Amino acid sequence: MQQSIRADFTLPGEAGYEQLTLDLARRWGADVIRDSDGTHLSPEITSAGYRVYSTICIIRQHNEFASAHPDAQQQTFLSSDPVTAVSDTLTIHPLDGYFTEQFELNDSAEALPYWQVWDRTENTLLPRDAWSYQDGTVTISNCRPWHRYTVSFLCWRIWEEINMYNHTTNSWTSEHLRQLDPRHPLAWEYLKQWLERWCCENPETNVVRLTSLFYNFVWIFGSDVRRKSRFVDWASYDFTVSPAALHAFEAEYGYALTAEDFIHLGKLQATHRPPTRAKLDYMSFTQRFVAEKAKALVDIIHAHGKQAYVFYDDSWVGMEPYGKHFTSIGFDGLIKCVFSGFECRLCAGVDVPVHELRFHPYLFPVGLGGLPTFMDGGHSEKDAMDYWLHVRRALARKCVDRIGLGGYLHLTEGFPAFVDTITEISDQFRAIKALHTNGAPAVLPLTVGVLHVWGALRSWTLSGHFHETSNHVLIHVLEALSGLPVNVRFLSFDDVIGGGLQDVDVLLNAGQAGDAWSGGEVWQHPSLIAEITRFVYEGGHLIGIDEPSAVHGLDTCLALAHLFGVDLDNGEYACHIPFDVETVPAPFDIPESFGIRKTNVRLIQPDTDVWMAQGGIPQFTHHAFGKGHALYMSGFTYSPLNAHMFLQTLIHLTGISQTSTGTSDHPEIETAWFPADRTMIVMNDADHPICTEVTCPAGRASVELAPFELKFVTIC
């Protein structure tokens, strides 16, 4: 292991703890000191010779302006919970069930025309004269008894969501911060002037760390203590809406959006579901707006000789680092908070000069789900190592430029093991980064195409962190892929139709029926099915997991069932007797825990190899079709062992040799071979010591690794 050097590490400093700040900066090898939400840096820190990041949340530090211009606040559409009519008159209080410290009805003259009342029993929109509104109440006269009604309405968001989260999680008592909408002309002029002034007043700042831009991801709180948070979607656009945005959209696109384009049967349009055409248009529209406004802010920052880094979280919506407009903004760096390998690849893959990871745990008393972190009972050092194991293998494949932490530095005082762990992690990071400087690690000549509704726009992500999406099988696959020596591309269904399979060796579709990852109704397009059928017949390979290509209206549940040789039975096969299932040995080890999920898989082609079954139900199958092969897996759960199995799957399908990238003889030991340095990173992903042999094009070596240890093995 190399010695700590002062580089590539961003330390959260804290006024009042100057000595601690400088001590830890030294121990962790920091070259940058930053402030955080709730802390600031004293002159003693900012003048200590470190570069300085200053955190700005551009839209939320302006309560005085917001009070003077309440119509400059941000908004959203919401739907009331359905109410059943038990007579021919019904009154609905739209905000019942919502957190009234977050929302306030917008019944202004420009907002009310966007309100709608729906009969949800027959799903029909009521004509405007069928209901009236007064003083916060909607009254429906002559409604149909026993039908259910909802009101869709615009409302102001009167508490910035991250501030609200910090208040409710950490018992903050300070004033609730409001947020401004940059679409409001006065607010926009005010924000630019504010930033200009801020830059003048903070000459010690080298990097403005924007946390982040304008519109928060969707986070809707409720009034019921049993469901404080009603809805969270890290990648949805509902919080960007306003009458001004709707008018501008209509002017540009030639058609008007309605409340139902957002409310969508009361479910909203979550990122995990296939979007409507209107939602896609609205997203494009918003992305252009956000990029244009963000560029104006970055220009101000640059004019002051500072750099602009953006934190890819919180109010990131519309920024889309893999979208068309991102590079036009001109950011100097992108900072991503990470728990997982896929997040590391997400950050590393963006076209921006500097990629930085902010590690977890955040220096807060409580962490995920309200569990203690830097409190009695917390195990911050274990958390840090656990996340690092996920991130490390991804960094071995594609590195970032910097790492760092955030939060209250003084909380580390009672946790010396945490301080040691971060020392170890930051040293490992710098050593990994150094290896990448002389050339990338060897990669198999094999490209996996991950196929879903969003395609490249949402490369390496679903919606938020692993723990928020762990019930979606694709995130487990992405986590596995993030550390494997293969090329990965993300394809939309339009990409496939447009010839996108030409550079793909293994096409992957993994999701639940009807979701954005499986694809939903898009599978009703015969040309899509035909193109993938051609692809496999001519020698491409296909992996389907869970409910891949599931759709209604065809003669099979899976549109690609004829390739997989298996289909799913949701009752449609009633009275049809399945083939007897006989397993044959798989060509590689399939761990029992690979991720079995299903009880309704059935063979439809008897020449399908069943590599694993449970209770007579196929769980892992292989089917040859033409020159290609199709694998079906009923599920997949990320673990180092299962990631190893996934790699074996890819190698078996394509028939290529793994020699060029280096291998280990033990499935829990991962390797990355850097030809330029003739050096191999050897990582023990297990919590027990392992002795094994590793092999690379340059030769073979014995390695002995402590639990979780990483070693660099140079073979000359």
3-class SS string, 233-253 = ECCCCHHHCCHHHHHHHHHHH
Among 62, 147, 360, 622, binds a copy of itself (CB under 8 A): 147
Sequence-distant (≥ 6) Cβ neighbours of residue 425 within 8 angstroms = 359, 384, 385, 388, 403
Sequence-distant (≥ 6) Cβ neighbours of residue 309 within 8 angstroms = 53, 207, 208, 209, 210, 331, 332, 333, 334, 335, 354, 356
Q: Is 578 in the site for a copy of itself (CB under 8 A)?
A: yes
Closer to a copy of itself by Cβ: residue 120 or 295? 120
- Tell me how far, at minimum, the Cβ of 223 lies from a copy of itself, in Å: 10
- Tell me how far, at minimum, the Cβ of 476 lies from a copy of itself, in Å: 16
Q: Is 168 in the site for a copy of itself (CB under 8 A)?
A: no
Q: Is 169 in the site for a copy of itself (CB under 8 A)?
A: no
Q: Is 201 in the site for a copy of itself (CB under 8 A)?
A: no
- Tell me how far, at minimum, the Cβ of 273 lies from a copy of itself, in Å: 6
Is the Cβ–Cβ distance between 654 and 506 less than 8 Å?
Answer: yes
Vertex 226: Cα angle to 222 and 230 (nearest 5): 35
- Tell me how far, at minimum, the Cβ of 524 lies from a copy of itself, in Å: 9
Q: Find tokens 């010591």 and name the residue.
A: 689
Closer to a copy of itself by Cβ: residue 79 or 373? 79
Q: Would you tell me how many other CB atoms lie within 10 Å of the CB of residue 3?
A: 7
Site string for a copy of itself, 57-96 (x = CB under 8 A): -------------------------x-x-x----------
Q: Is 624 in the site for a copy of itself (CB under 8 A)?
A: no
Q: Is 123 in the site for a copy of itself (CB under 8 A)?
A: yes
Total residues at interface with a copy of itself (CB under 8 A): 64
Closer to a copy of itself by Cβ: residue 255 or 537? 537
Is the Cβ–Cβ distance between 680 and 435 less than 8 Å?
Answer: no
Establish whether 687 is a catalytic residue: no
Binding positions for a copy of itself, 519-538, rule CB under 8 A:
526, 529-531, 533-534, 537
* C-alpha dihedral, 86 to 87 to 88 to 92, nearest 10°: -50
Closer to a copy of itself by Cβ: residue 61 or 614? 614
Q: Is 306 in the site for a copy of itself (CB under 8 A)?
A: no
Closer to a copy of itself by Cβ: residue 155 or 557? 557
Q: Would you tell me how many other CB atoms lie within 10 Å of the CB of residue 707?
A: 12
* Three-class DSSP category at 659: helix
Q: Is 576 in the site for a copy of itself (CB under 8 A)?
A: yes
Q: Is 606 in the site for a copy of itself (CB under 8 A)?
A: yes
Closer to a copy of itself by Cβ: residue 229 or 328? 229
Instruction: Quote the tokens at residue 267.
Output: 């479910």
Sequence-distant (≥ 6) Cβ neighbours of residue 477 within 8 angstroms = 450, 508, 510, 545, 636, 638, 646
Q: How far apart, in whole angstroms, are the C-alpha atoms of residue 444 and residue 466?
A: 26
Q: Which one of the listed residues 233, 314, 515, 546 is annotated catalytic? A: 314
Q: Is 268 in the site for a copy of itself (CB under 8 A)?
A: yes
Q: How far apart, in whole angstroms, are the C-alpha atoms of residue 30 and residue 422?
A: 11
349: left (phi over 0), alpha (psi -120 to 50) or beta: alpha
Among 183, 184, 209, 273, binds a copy of itself (CB under 8 A): 273
Q: Is 509 in the site for a copy of itself (CB under 8 A)?
A: no
Cβ-in-10-Å burial (0-12, 13-18, 19+) of 574 comes to exposed
Q: Is 552 in the site for a copy of itself (CB under 8 A)?
A: yes
Q: How far apart, in whole angstroms, are the C-alpha atoms of residue 274 and residue 285?
A: 18
DSSP string, 506-530: EEEEEE-TTSTTT-GGGGG-HHHHH
Binding positions for a copy of itself, 230-259, rule CB under 8 A:
230-233, 236
Q: Is 553 in the site for a copy of itself (CB under 8 A)?
A: yes
Residue 628: beta bridge partners? 625
Q: Is 609 in the site for a copy of itself (CB under 8 A)?
A: no
Vertex 221: Cα angle to 219 and 222 (nearest 5): 150
Vertex 485: Cα angle to 483 and 487 (nearest 5): 100
Among 514, 624, 677, 711, binds a copy of itself (CB under 8 A): 514
Q: Is 635 in the site for a copy of itself (CB under 8 A)?
A: no
**Pairing mode, if any, of strands 669-674 and 679-684?**
antiparallel
Q: How far apart, in whole angstroms, are the C-alpha atoms of residue 479 and residue 595?
A: 14
Residue type, 305: G
Closer to a copy of itself by Cβ: residue 150 or 242? 150
* Three-class DSSP category at 137: strand
Q: Is 570 in the site for a copy of itself (CB under 8 A)?
A: yes
Q: Is 577 in the site for a copy of itself (CB under 8 A)?
A: yes
Closer to a copy of itself by Cβ: residue 224 or 250? 224
Instruction: Quote the tokens at residue 268.
Output: 């909203």
Among 27, 40, 69, 148, binds a copy of itself (CB under 8 A): 148
Closer to a copy of itself by Cβ: residue 125 or 431? 125
Q: How far apart, in whole angstroms, are the C-alpha atoms of residue 428 and residue 435?
A: 11
Of 421, 406, 415, the closest CA to residue 375 belongs to: 415
Distances (CA, A) of 245 to 249, 254, 295, 298, 347: 6, 13, 19, 23, 30
Stretch that binds a copy of itself, among 118-126, 160-168, 277-285, 416-424 (CB under 8 A): 118-126
Q: Is 504 in the site for a copy of itself (CB under 8 A)?
A: no
- Tell me how far, at minimum, the Cβ of 322 lies from a copy of itself, in Å: 21
Stretch that binds a copy of itself, among 23-31, 261-269, 276-284, 331-339 (CB under 8 A): 261-269
- Tell me how far, at minimum, the Cβ of 138 lies from a copy of itself, in Å: 17
Q: Is 461 in the site for a copy of itself (CB under 8 A)?
A: no
Q: How far apart, in whole angstroms, are the C-alpha atoms of residue 32 and residue 411?
A: 19
Closer to a copy of itself by Cβ: residue 116 or 533? 533
Q: Give the active site residues.
A: 314
What are the residues binding a copy of itself (CB under 8 A)?
Answer: 82, 84, 86, 119-123, 144-148, 150, 218, 224, 226-227, 229-233, 236, 265-268, 270-273, 463, 512-515, 526, 529-531, 533-534, 537, 552-555, 562, 570-580, 582, 606, 625-626
